[in-house]
Amino acid sequence: MRVPTLGFVLALCVSVAAPAAAQSTDALMGELVRDVEAAQKKIVGLANALPAEAYAWRPGDGVRSSQETLLHVAADNYFIPAVMGVTPPAGSTIDGKDYKTTIAFEKRSLSREEVIAELEKSFAFLKQAMSEFPAAKMDAEFEAFGRKMTHRHMWLLAATHLHEHLGQLIAYARVNKVTPPWSK
């Protein structure tokens, strides 16, 4: 009887583990996309529920207005993938190497309908970028925001960022006497 060599056993382990790791990465991204879709439904729902006059409301000087917050969400839906090398739509004016482009994006003067359309477009871009991102690159490190991180971390940041601003927008809506659509 022939005993397998250590090299053979290691090669077998690697060949079995690699597809499992890829499946795990694909499963994670699928869950993140579903989470982004849930956040999208609520954020766009709030954008539609807020009356036009509430778009200019802000809780205090120097704090984003409702409209600026909605446009900030859209800007970062473009910016976060752009930081990882995914080219944003030409009309977005977002540059993944220059965060100032997101600030300019959220300061634009748009109608309520244009803000909602921009949100929808940005979510479509974000979900497509997530769905098409190569699983093999998820653990690759790169520099962003002055530190090293993995692409996986950046995609998690994209999802958590949406929930941060969803909470903010819920508070803005409630102050403006708007009940979130899913709470009725």
Whether 81 is in a domain gets the answer yes
Whether 144 is in a domain gets the answer yes
CB 57 within 8 A of CB 46: no
Q: Given this model, what pLDDT does residue 90 score?
A: 87
> Is the pLDDT at 88 greater than 80, yes or no?
yes
Whether 33 is in a domain gets the answer no
- pTM score, whole prediction: 0.85
Q: Report the distance separating Cα 116 and Cα 137, nearest Å.
A: 32
Over residues 102-135, the pLDDT tens digits come to: 999 999 999 999 999 999 999 999 999 999 999 9
Q: Given this model, what pLDDT does residue 25 score?
A: 57
Whether 15 is in a domain gets the answer no
Structure tokens that stand for 151 in this block: 């692409």
Q: If you average pLDDT over every residue of the chain, what do you get?
A: 88
Percentage of the chain beyond pLDDT 90 is 78
Domain count, the chain: 1
Q: Which domain holds residue 146?
A: 45-183
CATH code of the domain in which 171 resides:
1.20.120.450
> Is the pLDDT at 62 greater than 50, yes or no?
yes
Whether 83 is in a domain gets the answer yes
Whether 27 is in a domain gets the answer no
Q: Report the distance separating Cα 72 and Cα 159, nearest Å.
A: 14
> Is the pLDDT at 14 greater than 90, yes or no?
no
Whether 26 is in a domain gets the answer no
> Is the pLDDT at 11 greater than 80, yes or no?
no
Burial class (CB in 10 A: 0-12, 13-18, 19+), 161: middle
Whether 4 is in a domain gets the answer no
Q: Given this model, what pLDDT does residue 2 score?
A: 52
